[in-house]
Amino acid sequence: MKITISAIKADIGAIAGHICPSPGVVNAVSEFVKKNAKNLLIDYYVGYCGDDIHILMTHQRGVGNKEIHGLAWEAFKAGTAVAKAEGLYGAGQDLLKDSFSGNVRGLGPGVAEMEIEERPAEPFLFFAADKTEPGAFNLPLYLAFADPMYSPGLMLSSTLAAGFSFTIMDVNYTEGDRVITLNAPEDLYDIAALLRDNHRFVIESIRSRKTGEIAVVCSTTRLHNIAGKYVGKDDPVMLVRVQSQFPATGEVVAPFEIAHYVAGDCRGSHNVPLMPVKRNSTIGYFDGPAMVQCLGFSVKDGKLIGPVDIFDHPYWDWVREKAAQKTSEIRRQGFSGPAMVGMEELEYGGIAERLHKLEEKFSVRK
């Protein structure tokens, strides 16, 4: 059976700053989806990661479908109405355009969706991150889909041996989708050369080279490219099919043990480790930590079984502690050097004005 899995997410307002949506907002979004799911969705799940609400939907209308995107857009609008009534902070902040034009891409919400021929058993993982950028998934995906040091299946399984093709997007380009497709393992060094730059080059999708099947889709929105100014980090979502012709669940989640440094936390302007957290986690330190959730599902004829909260396990408590320690180490040096992101990623305009004014006061000593 052919089904589409669509994950659409938006920050439409939060309690106490950019912390988490209120129960009223989550309820409004869920109720809207529930009421309007008939004849449209097979199944759905609503949750949140920090201040971002996500709607995970299964259906048979393919990717980029007007009705499916319209349902999510209207659900977020219903949630925004509650957020405004409750006086939540940043109510409707990711609904950057006034009207819906058939697809939420380019309007503010993040989207990751894939159409698949459902396997007899179809396990997949849904990742949602907050206080960070889409490039935060670059390293974990590289390690899971291209590096036998993390993903032993690449050398142990003859199915995985054919490798994977990576489609990478240049998210700085705003005239359209500027993409390149490279093959692992032959193009490993080229892939690495792009993926080292998390701000600009972002994995959009990964396919099995053996079967051509889609394995991964990530949201690649650049909110500031849409809004023309800083409106928060992009807080990506991602879908990853696992097992058999794809890496195992364990191979996909293993790289998150690194708690690698990404851009995020307070004002989206710092380099901090990505902390794996539990389902529906809230923000707790320095407008962070930059965090990621991983929900495991099985899907049969479009019906979702799950979620299993993958990072809700004693193993990940240790990783969380390590991530907190790494955070504390780099935060102690405040604004200095690598603790903050580079000028082009410092998305608040104030510092540019400040530096501009200082330019006039400089003199060149003769």
Q: Which residues are catalytic?
A: 11, 230, 233
Residue 266 as a binder of ligand F6R (CB under 6 A): the answer is: yes
Residue 17 as a binder of ligand F6R (CB under 6 A): the answer is: yes
130 binds, among ligand F6R, Mg ion, none (CB under 5 to 8 A by kind): Mg ion
Name which position in 232, 236, 276, 288 contacts Mg ion (CB under 5 A): 232
23 binds, among ligand F6R, Mg ion, none (CB under 5 to 8 A by kind): none
Contact pattern for Mg ion over residues 4 through 33, marking x by CB under 5 A: -------x------x---------------
Name which position in 59, 69, 105, 131 contacts ligand F6R (CB under 6 A): 131
Which one, of 235, 211, 205, lies nearest residue 145 by Cα?
A: 205
Name which position in 3, 13, 18, 274 contacts ligand F6R (CB under 6 A): 18
Residue 207 or 233: the one with the smaller Cβ distance to Mg ion is 233
- Binding to Mg ion in span 235-254, by CB under 5 A: 235
Residue 187 as a binder of ligand F6R (CB under 6 A): the answer is: no
Q: Which of the stretches 60-68, 224-232, 334-342, 345-353 binds Mg ion when contact is defined by CB under 5 A? A: 224-232
Assign residue 124 a region: left if phi > 0, alpha if psi is -120 to 50, beta otherwise?
A: beta
Q: Which of the stretches 97-105, 184-192, 260-268, 300-308 binds ligand F6R when contact is defined by CB under 6 A? A: 260-268
268 binds, among ligand F6R, Mg ion, none (CB under 5 to 8 A by kind): ligand F6R
- Binding to Mg ion in span 43-62, by CB under 5 A: 50-52
Q: Kindly provide the b/e burial profile for residues 21-58, where b requires at least 16 CB atoms within 10 angstroms of the residue's own CB.
A: bbeebbebbbebbeebeeebbbbbbbbbbbbbbbbbbb
- Binding to ligand F6R in span 191-250, by CB under 6 A: 232-233
Residues in contact with Mg ion by the rule CB under 5 A: 11, 18, 50-52, 130, 232, 235
